[in-house]
């Protein structure tokens, strides 16, 4: 068996582990000396080891996997993913220059690496040429190894707006144009809608605070998406634009570089979540690796202190914050992968380990409306699980030590069997 590939097991009991998940914030305690019975692609039972083993054995002989005293949690969910990311610079130019066939293989490789690092679900928020839909179908069919994908398709942007240079956006203008944009993404299979309502750090001829949609355009996006049962998330920096969008019914804010106490209070009151992407304003090493130009690096790194202030305001107001790296989820950065590093920054920035566990697992799944199937270690849920030696309730850095990954009842990573990230 090649441990880098899924292993097909109809059922198995996971033993010698402590089970915990995001419900700790609701008072659900970890289960020490636990076992998890996985049957097919879902969890059949979870609880104290002796009870689960007895239940499984009544069903016949069931193979076991000894997790060696690990802490077992749901896989992470990364809510700000671009598997076809192409920032300004030489690295991004390489991706932009790929043929459709090359791009498909590139994204499939990224999906594999994402799953192997313990991210079992992603929310894509702008991918090139609708390749994300083909990738999702390939993963579902078992032709490609990768996480579960929820996607916005192409992000909607005004003519010349943030990200217009790439095929991961669709240019629209006017209320009718943006309504058409929403419907185009829904027709392609989008689970949600992403819209760029302000400038950002990657647009040379804009500023973070540049308004890019007018009220009628923004209202058209939100009303149309909601009519189709899709939530809307917005790339957004400045408080004024975000506040207006929140009042119109925006479901989620990406980045939120320049929030204020008034706007965060409104976000909390209206239930608008924040995916802060703290990495994007403190990742010079990543920018240097991709050859990102000096103007973008200065804008990004210069926004860092205010970005952290905004994040602290959101936490103080009680805004729901969710894990999202913006950087490719699997990217090696500061001694770990981007998903874990982002979660560490969120935890250290005031969230704390317990809420960080929630923000990386159950919180995103609830936003996605998928909690019937994902997000906790409970009977009936998909067996999307990760194991690590450290306790993530003591230190979020425990996720650096993920050494075993299961998705849908299939083991896709087992370091004891010689798994390699390459």
pTM: 0.95
Cα Rg of the chain, angstroms: 21
137 occurs within a structural domain? yes
Say if residue 8's pLDDT is above 70: no
Range of the domain at 29: 11-75+375-417
User: How many CB atoms are closer than 10 A to CB 180?
Assistant: 15
Burial class of 264 by CB neighbour count within 10 A (0 to 12, 13 to 18, 19+): buried
Helix (H, G, I), strand (E, B) or coil at 172: strand
240 and 114 part of one domain: yes
Return the pLDDT at 200: 83
Q: Mean pLDDT score of the chain, rounded to an integer?
A: 94
- pLDDT tens-digit profile of 246-280? 999 999 999 999 999 999 999 999 999 999 999 99
Task: Tell me the C-alpha distance between 162 and 208, whole Å.
Answer: 10
pLDDT band for 60, please (50, 70, 90 cuts): confident
Please tell me the total count of domains within the chain. 2
Instruction: Tell whether 381 and 348 lie within a shared domain.
Output: no
Domain boundary, last residue among 344, 368, 392? 368
Residue 394 and residue 247 share a domain: no
Of 1-5, 260-264, 318-322, 354-358, which range is least confident?
Answer: 1-5
- Residues 186, 145: one domain? yes
Do 104 and 138 lie in one domain? The reply is yes
Residue 64 Cα to chain centre, angstroms = 31
Identify the domain boundary among 351, 368, 385.
Answer: 368
**Domain at 408, CATH number:** 2.30.40.10
Residue 99 and residue 66 share a domain = no
pLDDT band of residue 285 (cuts 50, 70, 90) is very high
Residue labelled with tokens 């703290």: 278
Decide if 6 is inside a domain. no
Cα–Cα dist 165/56, whole Å? 55
- CA 303, CA 308: separation in Å to the nearest integer? 9
Question: What single DSSP character describes residue 207?
Answer: -
Res. 15: pLDDT tops 70: yes
Q: How confident is the model at residue 6 (pLDDT cuts 50, 70, 90)?
A: very low
CA distances from 412 to 31, 139, 177 (A): 24, 13, 43
Residue 1: inside a domain, yes or no?
Answer: no
Q: Are residues 270 and 141 both part of a single domain?
A: yes
The answer to whether residues 331 and 237 belong to one domain is: yes
Residue 113 contacts residue 421 (beta carbons within 8 Å): yes
Mean pLDDT of the region 407-413: 97
Q: Half-sphere exposure (CA, 13 Å, Cβ side) for 49? A: 13
Burial class of 149 by CB neighbour count within 10 A (0 to 12, 13 to 18, 19+): buried
Query: Could you tell me if 315 and 379 lie in one domain?
Result: no
What percent of the chain shows pLDDT beyond 90? 87
Identify the CA nearest to 403 among candidates 340, 325, 351: 340
Residues of the chain above pLDDT 70, percent = 97
| Residue 204, pLDDT above cutoff 80 | no
Listing DSSP states for 395-414 in one string gives -GGGGGGEEEEEETTEEEEE
| 111: number of Cβ within 10 Å | 26
Find the mean pLDDT for residues 401-420: 90
Answer yes or no: is pLDDT of 4 > 50: no
* Residue 421 pLDDT exceeds 60: no
52 and 201 inside one domain: no
The stretch 114-120 carries a mean pLDDT of 98
Q: 294 with 232, same domain?
A: yes
Note the pLDDT tens digit of each residue in 333-390: 999 999 999 999 999 999 999 999 999 999 999 999 999 999 999 999 999 999 999 9
Give CA–CA dist 30/50, Å, rounded: 16
Per-residue pLDDT tens over the stretch 150-197: 999 999 999 998 878 889 999 999 999 999 999 999 999 999 999 999
Looking at the fold, whether 90 and 48 belong to one and the same domain comes out as no
- Domain contains 153: yes
CATH of the domain at 119: 3.20.20.140
């Amino acid at each position: 068996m090649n441990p880098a590939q899924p292993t097909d097991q109809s059922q198995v009991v996971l033993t010698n582990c402590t089970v915990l998940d995001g419900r700790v914030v609701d008072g659900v305690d970890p289960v020490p000396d636990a076992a998890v019975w996985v049957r097919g692609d879902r969890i059949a039972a979870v609880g104290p080891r002796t009870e689960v083993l007895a239940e499984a054995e009544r069903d016949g002989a069931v193979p076991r996997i000894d997790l060696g005293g690990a802490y077992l949690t749901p896989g992470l969910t990364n809510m700000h993913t671009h598997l076809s990311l192409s920032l300004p610079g030489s690295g991004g130019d390489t991706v932009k220059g790929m043929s459709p066939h090359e791009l498909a293989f590139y994204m499939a490789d990224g999906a594999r690496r994402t799953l192997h690092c313990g991210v079992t679900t992603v929310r894509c928020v702008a991918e090139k040429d609708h390749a994300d839909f083909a990738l999702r179908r390939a993963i579902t069919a078992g032709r490609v190894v990768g996480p579960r994908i929820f996607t916005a398709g192409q992000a909607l942007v005004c003519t010349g707006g943030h990200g217009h240079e790439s095929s991961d956006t669709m240019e629209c203008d006017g209320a009718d144009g943006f309504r058409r944009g929403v419907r185009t993404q829904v027709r392609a299979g989008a689970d949600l809608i992403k819209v760029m309502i302000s400038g950002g750090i990657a647009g040379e001829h804009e500023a973070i605070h540049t308004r890019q949609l007018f009220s009628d355009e923004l209202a058209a996006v939100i009303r149309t998406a909601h009519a189709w049962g899709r939530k809307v998330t917005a790339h957004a920096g400045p408080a004024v634009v975000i506040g207006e969008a929140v009042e119109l019914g925006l479901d989620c804010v990406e980045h939120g570089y320049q929030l204020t106490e008034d706007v965060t209070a409104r976000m909390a009151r209206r239930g608008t979540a924040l995916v802060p992407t703290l990495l994007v304003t403190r990742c010079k090493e990543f920018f240097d690796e991709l050859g990102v130009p000096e103007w973008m690096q200065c804008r990004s790194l210069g926004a860092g202190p205010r970005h952290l202030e905004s994040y602290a305001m959101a936490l103080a107001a009680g805004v729901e914050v969710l894990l999202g790296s913006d950087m490719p989820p699997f990217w090696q950065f500061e001694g770990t992968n981007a998903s874990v590093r982002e979660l560490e920054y969120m935890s250290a920035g005031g969230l704390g380990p317990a809420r960080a566990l929630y923000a990386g697992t159950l919180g995103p799944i609830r936003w996605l409306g998928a909690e019937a199937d994902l997000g906790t270690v409970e009977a009936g849920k998909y067996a999307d699980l990760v194991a690590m030696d450290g306790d993530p309730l003591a230190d979020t850095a425990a996720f650096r030590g993920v050494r075993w990954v299961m998705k849908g009842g299939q083991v896709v990573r087992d370091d004891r069997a010689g798994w390699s990230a390459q």
